[in-house]
Amino acid sequence: MKKIKQQEALSFDGLGIAPKLLEILTELSYLIPTPIQLQSIPVSLERKDIVGIAQTGTGKTLAFGIPMIQLLAVYKGMGLVLLPTRELALQVDEHLKIIGKKISLRTSVLIGGEPINKQLKSLKHKPHIIIATPGRLIDHIQRRSVNLANVNILVLDEADMMLDMGFLPQIRDILKLVPKQRQTMLFSATMPSQIVKIASDYMVLPTRIEVAPAGTSAENVEQELVVIDKVSKFNHLKKILTETRGSVLIFMRTKHAVKTLTKKITQIGFSAAEIHSNRSLIQRRKALEGFKLGKFRILIATDIAARGIDVKEIELVVNYDLPEKSGDYVHRIGRTARAGKSGKAISFVMPSQIKNIREIEKLINKTLKINKTDSELNTLRASIDNNRSDGSTKTSFARGGVGIRKSFRANTKRDFGVQKRGEFYKKSFSSKTSGYSKKYKSYNRNKEEISSSRPKNSRKTNYQSAPNNSRLPMTDKERFRRSIL
C-alpha cells in the first residue's frame, strides 16, 4: 500500500487523484481530506477491496466517489452504489453530480416512491453510475431494465443499516449477479458479524480502514441522559426547545408517535416537520429541504431517516424514545457535530430502560452523563455503576427490566419509607383470597430466575486469497476519459 507523506496529508495532492478532478475539488473548496478520505482514496485507486469503518458525516461519499469516477474513466464498466434509504441515495447522487458536472458524468437513481418510467428513461442514457436501494434495484432486474454484468465497481454504503432493515437477502441476490472480477468497497458505522460474513464471502482480501473503532460516537457530541417517566416527557421537551435556539432533530420509535408529537409541537408555536415511512417521497424531500433551509426549526423522524439526513448545522439531537438497537443510537447522534463541528444529544430514559443504557455505554465505550434532578436519579446512577463494576450481567438486569423495578422498589422503601408493592398486595387481599400470598411468592421466585442477557458471539473475518486483477480494455467513452485524465 502506498504510504502518504506527512506534508501530502494536508491536501488531496498526494493521493493519486487525476489533475482535472483535483481542479474540480479546489473549485468546490474541498481542500483538506477527512481521515476516511485520506486513507481510502489511495487504496481505492489501486483497485483494492475496502472495508471502511467510519461514522456518519465523515466524508464517505467522496471517499468512494472520487476513486469511482476516476477509475470508470480508465477501465471498462459501470459503478453501482447500494444504500438503505431514498434520502441517502438522493444525497449521494447530489454529491456525485456536483463533482461530475464538468466531466459529463451520468448517474441514474433507482429508488422506491418515484415513477418507474422516469427511472427507465434515465437508464436509456447509459449512466456511468447507478445509485439504488436494494428493493427497487431488484425490481429493475426482474424487469430486465438493468443488467449488472458490466458492474466494475460496487459500493455498499451504510451496510449495517441495510442489514438492520432486512435487505440481506436482496444484497446477496445482487452480489451473485455482479461480476466476480470487480472492486468492492463496503462502508459501515458498526461491524456486526453479518458484515464480517459478507466481507469474507464476497470480497477479495479487503483492506480494513478504521477511522474510529466500530460503534464509537462522534467526539464532538456532548451526550446527556435524562431519566424521566413517560408522562413528563413532553413538558421537558418543551423546556428544551424553548432554551435551544438552533435546529433540533427529534427521534422516535414509531411513525404514529412521530405524527402525534409533530402535531403537539406545532400547536404550541414551534415550526416542525415530520419524516417517516408513511410520508411520500415528495413529502419527505420537502420536509428535509425545509429543515435545511430553516423553514422548519424542528424535524421529527423515525430511525428509517436516521442516516438519510445530511444537514451540516444541527445543534441538538433528542432521543425522545431510546432506539430498539443500541447501534442505532450511534447513527442518531451522528446527525449532529458533522464536519468537525460540535453538537449535543439528549436522550430521554425511563427507569425500566437502564439495561439499554448499559448496552449503549458498552458499545460506545463511554460513560454517559445522567442529568440528576433528585435523589431518585442518584439511586439509578448507583444501580448502573454497580452493574458496570461487575463484569457479568446481574439479575437486576433481567429481561424486560423486572429485576430493575424490584431493586428500585426496595431502595425506595429503604430511603423513603414507602411500602413494597408485594406487601401491599398481601395485606389487601389475604382476607379475600387465601391462596394469593402463595401465588405471589411463586411469581417473585420466577422473576428472580429469569436468565441474564446472552453473551455476544464474535467472529473473525476469514479473508479469501486474491486473484490477479488484470486491466480491462478501454471503452469507447473516450470523451469522458479525456475530461478527467
Distance of CA 101 to the CA centre of its chain: 29
How high is the pLDDT of residue 10? 67
Q: What is the pLDDT of residues 156-195, one digit of tens each?
A: 999 988 988 889 999 999 999 999 999 999 998 878 888 9
Q: What is the pLDDT of residues 363-414, one digit of tens each?
A: 787 888 777 554 345 555 566 666 555 543 333 333 333 333 444 444 444 4
Q: What is the pLDDT of residues 264-317, one digit of tens each?
A: 999 999 999 999 888 888 888 899 889 988 899 999 999 865 556 777 788 999
> Is the separation of the CB atoms in 51 and 186 below 8 Å?
yes
What is the model's pTM? Answer: 0.64
> In angstroms, rounded to a whole number, what is the distance separating the alpha carbons of residues 289 and 299?
11
Q: What is the pLDDT of residues 211-243, one digit of tens each?
A: 865 555 556 788 999 999 899 999 999 999 999
What is the four-CA torsion angle of 140, 99, 312, 166, rounded to 10 degrees?
Answer: 20
Mean pLDDT of 196-208: 93
Confidence grade of residue 480 (pLDDT, cut at 50, 70, 90): low
Write phi, then psi, for 219 (nearest 5 degrees). Answer: -70, -30
> In angstroms, rounded to a whole number, what is the distance separating the alpha carbons of residues 188 and 202?
16
Provide the β-strand partners of residue 226: 348
Q: What is the pLDDT of residues 92-109, one digit of tens each?
A: 999 999 999 888 899 999
Structural domains present in the chain: 8-214+462-484 (3.40.50.300), 221-423 (3.40.50.300)
What is the four-CA torsion angle of 463, 465, 471, 475, rounded to 10 degrees?
Answer: -50
The SS3 assignment for 89 reads helix
Average pLDDT of the chain is 79
Lowest mean pLDDT: which of 58-72, 240-254, 351-365?
Answer: 351-365
Lowest mean pLDDT: which of 64-78, 106-120, 318-332?
Answer: 318-332
**334/405: higher pLDDT:** 334
Q: What is the pLDDT of residues 108-151, one digit of tens each?
A: 999 998 889 999 999 999 999 999 999 999 999 999 999 999 99
How high is the pLDDT of residue 479? 66
Lowest mean pLDDT: which of 179-193, 337-351, 395-409, 458-472?
Answer: 395-409
Q: What is the pLDDT of residues 13-54, one digit of tens each?
A: 889 999 999 999 999 988 889 899 999 999 999 999 999 998
